[in-house]
Amino acid sequence: MPDDESTTPEAPGPGAADGGGPPPIVSRQELRAQRGGGSPTKWWVLGGVAVVLIGVVLAVTLAGGSTAKKAAPATTTTTRPAPVVATCPLTGTPAPGGVVPARPALAVKIGNYTGDRPSAGLNQADIVFEEPVEGSYTRLVAVFQCQGSPSVGDLRSAREPDVAILSQLSNPIFVHAGGIDPVLALLAAAPLQDENVLLGGGAGSITTHPAGRYAPYATFTSTAPAWALAPADVTPPAPIFAYSTHPPAGSVPGSGIAVHVPFSSTSDVTWTWNPATSTYLRAYSGIPDTLVDGSQTASTNVVVLTVPTTIGPWYENSEGGKEVEVTAIGSGPLVVLRNGIAITGTWTRKTLTGPTALVAANGAPITLQPGNTWEELAPQGIPVTTTAATPAPTTTVPGKTTTTTKP
């Protein structure tokens, strides 16, 4: 039916009630309006609002669901390994320029009679060994690897204990000024590169003779030409000590401010801790051991091994002094001084080519402070005495107690 046709002809309109003419004709659109249907504009507005509300609800729902399902961004932690620092094998200190020199250990035999002093190059050595020889004197073996010295000496002849000292240093170069035939034979059979400066040739060309020094105390050398005697050897030695910047557990601060090793009246050695330099300073009978360059002999560590010795059958001099032989394989008492601390224990060595193990009385390995080291081979019967810091008297004040420790 068309929208303009009447749908309620029987319904009386307003005019009928007034007794007027016939009822008006009402279209469907007007009828819907009369029944409260509202205008199309109203419906479009309501419909738009509904769509907007539905969109908001959907957006919130989707957003909430997405947030609930979305994992928190992953956090990646990258741990980079600490840079490897090259360390000198015979001192445990950082290598110069970050690279261990490609060269072997260089050992130089140095005299220690009173006429041999002052010495040269000892403070530049990585390790110095002091060994007993005939007449209750001592001689030295200065070992260089990471550092060198323009002057080392004075050079003296080899001794039997040198073989055990050198055999643990991974085939070192050994520079010396001769020796008696039995000792030279021992060196020839040992794992080392024997350079006797008295034989001439290459070794004889590396010596110098400073003014004011007289034979047999006048022969010196330099590390650079000594290393040049073995240019093809570019292998550094294996370490013979373990190092740590922290003293071993159980160490007592101030327990080792000095050590006394009285080899003899001419080699009456004392090492005294110097906190200002964190080194031990060497003296003979209380007189500082001053080197050619004016410095006092100093060491970061002092290792004292008490070793068995015997008097061998070979004569070392015209006065009838016989060779002192050191028993290097076995074990015995030791004391290690580092950082003003004394650590007692036992040394053990199983082979000549292996290092000496240093073990504290509590069974723990003894580590050294990174730096240079002196190893003293003290014959049995020599009293090795350490000194501890002396506490100051305790002062008592009513209500207060004060104790001060003096160095």
Residue 243 is assigned to a structural domain of this protein: yes
Give the tens place of pLDDT for each residue, 376-385. Answer: 999 999 999 9
Which pLDDT score is estimated for 117?
A: 97
Note whether 207 and 197 are within 8 A (CB). yes
**CA-to-CA distance for 363 and 405, rounded, in angstroms?**
29
Give the tens place of pLDDT for each residue, 230-268. Answer: 999 999 999 999 999 999 998 999 999 999 999 999 999
For the domain that residue 133 is a member of, what is the CATH number?
Answer: 3.50.90.10
pTM of the model: 0.78
pLDDT grade, residue 319 (50/70/90)? confident
Residue 281 is assigned to a structural domain of this protein: yes
**CA-to-CA distance for 47 and 41, rounded, in angstroms?**
10
Average pLDDT value for the chain: 84
Residue 167 is assigned to a structural domain of this protein: yes
Report DSSP letters for 170-198, one per residue: SS-EEEE----HHHHHHHHHSSSEEEEGG
Residue 403 is assigned to a structural domain of this protein: no
Residue 157 is assigned to a structural domain of this protein: yes
Beta-bridged to residue 290, according to DSSP, are 296
Residue 68 is assigned to a structural domain of this protein: no
**CA-to-CA distance for 388 and 46, rounded, in angstroms?**
99
pLDDT grade, residue 43 (50/70/90)? very low
Note whether 402 and 394 are within 8 A (CB). yes
Q: Residue 257: give the domain boundaries.
A: 96-387
The count of domains in the chain is: 1
Give the tens place of pLDDT for each residue, 280-295. Answer: 999 999 999 999 999 9
The three-class DSSP label of residue 153 is strand
Whether 53 shows a pLDDT value over 60: the answer reads no
Whether 57 shows a pLDDT value over 50: the answer reads no
Residue 266 is assigned to a structural domain of this protein: yes
